Structure 1
Amino acid sequence: MEKVVKTEQQWRELLTDEEYVVCRQKGTERAFSGEYYRYKGEGAYVCRCCGLALFDSSTKYDSGSGWPSFYAPLDQDALGVNRDVSHGMVREEVVCARCDAHLGHVFPDGPDPTGLRYCINSLSLKLTGDVE
């Protein structure tokens, strides 16, 4: 997969201030506030920064965490996972494999069939009508 590389200025021009803080500076939107937290529409959730398809709506579920949650990505190769030791804890950060946008975190407390909970910021996503 070819990487999408932009300057910080290009990212700032492409994203809103809130999107930039979350996607490029590893911020987090407030729990229970995101556009897709309770949204039930169908389609593919793509990276807000580069458009790479990340999750299918059929894998979205209400985890009670306050963020959109998914139990599996569309393609494992679409995501990167980094160790995150910020905020006094050890977590697994999830990033877009194509542009390195911060998406959220993955936890081992999700439902079957994967047992994973991809807890993703709405500001990192866009919903499209079709799954590619």
Structure 2
Amino acid sequence: MGECAILVWLSVVAVTDAETRRIPNALVWPGVCGAMGACVVHPAAAVAVLTAAIPYVLAFGKRWCGGGDVKLAAACGALALRWDAALLVVALASLVAVGVVVADRVARREQPGAASHPHGPALVGATIVVAGLL
């Protein structure tokens, strides 16, 4: 039952980000609170949360992603439970995002920097695959 709720939550976050290019705090804070709870129950999850969130914090500082992506990454790191799995989530999400950008540029023959793409769906998909939620 818990996995089903997590999948629904992740799906809502991904669809909302895909449609609006924003992840509202009302959607992402339950995941952040869950991540904090996971860190209390599984101390190794704290390392996974930091492993997943730090690259997004750095990207946020460069304005390459939004604050919702940072918070979502923390929640996804907690779902990964281990630092190596969290690192794999970040790497896989990045590869998917790069693939989407390249495919879009080829399809539209756009110049680099011409459009932005939401990152939440890639992060959600990577989390679902790595955490084995399906």
| TM-score normalized with structure 1 length | 0.29
> Between Structure 1 and Structure 2, whose CA radius of gyration is higher?
2
Greater per-residue helix proportion = 2
Higher strand share: 1
